[in-house]
A and B are shown apart, each in its own frame.
Chain A
């Protein structure tokens, strides 16, 4: 017999996002916030898939700025110069929640 399911918490949250890297293809999928890392998983309009893990403790920068369309995006700068722009599809509130989550886990990983 089985007991009830575990409650959702951060980390463990998953967000519907679109992201691109310096003018590259735009992917639509999910960002799953884990302990010390975040996993982006999705596919682009042409059918190509992408899955990448961001080691939050190694990130150079995480901040919010205006994207090309004027809507706010989370900008994640990785070592080596890679720069991702991530937009939330679930509203402005979740974008800021996502930023808080990334910064929080980044702080824990760095500490």
Chain B
């Protein structure tokens, strides 16, 4: 090739390289051009791994796929290839095998004698090395070939940087689009399942992962799959697994992300779930709200690399999405709690109104009827008529008693008029009388203050429900109710000497579930201690919202 035509070829090569937008396509085109320009039979490009001591990728031209497979693993950068790694300067050899630094070729490798290698550097940092072998006609590579290849390598360095920038920009654009989509969904979507599904799907696409899941706590001991994305994992949705003995449970407790490159070797991972979905690698990221972990995002098996491993960058992206998921979950919980709070409050308001109507209107009307019937009875001469009037009066008396009892059942007046202590004392007396169970009530609250209406009502209903459960299930002879103030909390303890039960044996009944909901609405805690044959103790602690008595 003459000098002008080589120059022309080089210019055309540069333009061809810069038009490529995919790194893989660019590297293949580069090798093609290098062989065309120099007449080499074989060309290769080794991409240098971080650290600079070995090759992480080896692209070839002139060797077909069948031969490549027969040769086996690509070179890592020993021998002559290693010389270029270490010295980062052009190397031209007339006979590869004769060079003392050569380590030979693996079985099935085609013979190669003449050799030319040049580094590809970006801003002074080595990206890789370009290698040529077996110049046509058995000739040696010339100084002109070397100069041409150096120029080509410089053009390639620019093209490679452009492609990398383009790929990074595309990747960041896709990430930004996904984050904007998730952000918009957070503002408008009210269904938590759909929100988490969107987050899982977008993250899986961005990371090119095989599957993504979001697990949320389901009670104190279990985790529930709230969202899944990926093939073959639809059946996981809604399923639960024990928190104890799982990686997700550990991440939830320790509130720290983990990246596992070989799941089979990790003793913390729930192997049953792992076998069900056949995953090899994974990221576990906690959903954090004010340093509190409320769920875990998991990502498994990156599809690009043969080993399926995720990078630090992948972990950072997963953490970004986990923070969005945490906002979604927290928001849903707050909305749910607010709704429940409103429902409970509305329920109590309605009960209070009904109780007042019964007492003030129906009760008053019945009292008037009673008085009227008494007067009528006294005015009648006929025995039969007087007897009939008396029967009516008895019926009115019973109805009035029923109405008063109903009013108390709906909303005890003592709770509104005098506060929690007197109301509970009255409740304990009534239940003891009705059931024959000995019920002791003791309170140690500061009498200068009075509990807020919400707390008083919740504690009253919880004690009421506890007594119902004692009668239903405990076969107890004695119950004690203790109400105390400890620091900034009001604590109610209901203890019975009944037959006890195993709290871990089954899910909560509706009564206990209702108690838990009331307690959680007040940011309180509920604990049940029991074992078969040893009675039951229920402890409720609620932060105090004291209202001074006016």
Which residues in A have some Cβ–Cβ distance to B below 8 Å? Answer: 1-5, 8, 14-18, 26, 28-30, 41-45, 47, 49, 66, 70-72, 87, 89-92
Q: For the complex, is B434 an interface residue (Cβ under 8 Å from A)? A: yes
Which of chain B's residues 400-459 have a Cβ closer than 8 Å to chain A?
A: 401-402, 405-406, 409, 431, 434-437
A45 neighbours in B (Cβ, 8 Å): 436-437, 477
B471/A89 in contact, CB under 8 A: yes
Task: List, sorted by A's number, 20 A–B pairs whose CB atoms are closer than 8 Å.
Answer: A1-B239, A2-B239, A2-B240, A5-B507, A8-B510, A16-B472, A26-B436, A29-B471, A41-B475, A43-B477, A44-B436, A45-B436, A70-B398, A71-B402, A71-B405, A89-B434, A89-B435, A91-B406, A92-B405, A92-B406
- Counting from the closest, the 7 A-B pairs by CB-CB distance are A45-B436, A28-B435, A30-B472, A1-B239, A16-B471, A43-B475, A91-B409
Which residues of chain A are within 8 angstroms of B240 by Cβ–Cβ distance? 1-3
Residues of B within 8 A of A8 (CB): 510
B238 on the interface (CB 8 Å rule)? Answer: yes
Choose from A14, A42, A72 the contact partner of B402 (Cβ within 8 Å): A72
Residues B472 and A29 in contact, CB atoms below 8 Å apart: yes
Partner among B272, B409, B437, B472 whose Cβ is within 8 Å of the Cβ of A92: B409
Question: What string of 1s and 0s marks CB contacts (under 8 Å) between B191-203 and chain A?
Answer: 0000000000000
**What residues of chain B lie closer than 8 Å to A44, measured between beta carbons?**
436
Task: Give the Cβ gap from A91 to chain B, nearest Cβ, in Å.
Answer: 5
Establish whether residues B510 and A16, one from each chain, have CB atoms under 8 Å apart when the complex forms. Answer: no
Instruction: Report A-chain residues with C-beta under 8 Å of the C-beta of B435.
Output: 18, 28, 89
Chain A's closest residue to B477 (CB) is A47
Min CB–CB distance B203 → chain A (angstroms): 23
Min distance, Cβ B436 to any Cβ of chain A, angstroms? 3
User: Does any Cβ of A come within 8 Å of B8's Cβ?
Assistant: no
Bound complex: CA A90 to CA B434 (Å): 12
Given A1-B239, A90-B468, A70 and B436 contact (CB-CB distance below 8 Å): no
Residues of B472-525 whose CB lies within 8 A of A: 472-473, 475-477, 507, 510
Q: How far is the CB of A20 from chain B (nearest CB, A)?
A: 10
Residues of A within 8 A of B477 (CB): 43, 45, 47
Q: Is B10 an interface residue (CB 8 A)?
A: no
| Bound-state Cα–Cα, A89 to B238, Å | 37
**In the complex, how many residue pairs between chain A and chain B have their CB atoms under 8 Å apart?**
69
Give residues 34-50 of B contacting A (CB, 8 Å): none
Which residues of B are in contact with A by a Cβ distance under 8 Å?
Answer: 222, 238-241, 272-273, 398, 401-402, 405-406, 409, 431, 434-437, 468-469, 471-473, 475-477, 507, 510
| Residue contact B475 to A42, C-beta cutoff 8 Å | yes
Q: Which residues of A contact B469 (CB under 8 A)?
A: 16
Knowing A5-B507, A16-B468, A89-B468, say if A66 contacts B398 (CB, 8 Å): yes
A45 to B, closest residue via Cβ = B436
Is B475 touching A29 in the complex (CB atoms < 8 A)? yes
Complex: how many Å from CA A2 to CA B437?
A: 38
Q: How far is the CB of B497 from chain A (nearest CB, A)?
A: 11
Distance in angstroms between the alpha carbons of A49 and B474 in the assembled complex? 11
Q: Which residues of B contact A5 (CB under 8 A)?
A: 507
Report if A18-B434 is in contact (Cβ < 8 Å); known contacts: A66-B398, A92-B402.
Answer: yes
- Pick the residue among B398, B434, B436, B475 that contacts A87 (CB under 8 A): B434
CB-based contact B475/A3 at 8 Å: no
Complex CA distance for A87 and B435, rounded to whole angstroms: 10
User: Do A70 and B434 form a contact, CB below 8 Å, given A1-B240, A5-B507, A92-B409?
Assistant: no
Given A5-B507, A18-B434, A92-B405; A30-B239 close (CB under 8 Å): no
Q: In the complex, what residues of B have CB within 8 A of residue A3's CB?
A: 238-240
Min distance, Cβ B218 to any Cβ of chain A, angstroms: 9
B472: which A residues are within 8 A, CB to CB? 14-16, 29-30
The residues of A that contact B436 with a CB separation of less than 8 Å are 18, 26, 28, 44-45
- Select which of A1, A14, A28, A43 is within 8 A of B241 by beta carbon: A1
CB closest chain-B residue, reference A8: B510
Residues of A close to B434: CB separation below 8 A: 18, 28, 87, 89
In the complex, which residue of chain A has the Cβ closest to the Cβ of B272?
Answer: A1
Among B472, B477, B510, residue most surrounded by chain A Cβ atoms (within 10 Å):
B472
CB distance from B53 to the nearest CB of A (A): 46
**Given A2-B239, A89-B468, A92-B402, 7 more pairs with CB closer than 8 A:** A3-B240, A18-B435, A29-B471, A29-B472, A42-B475, A49-B475, A92-B409
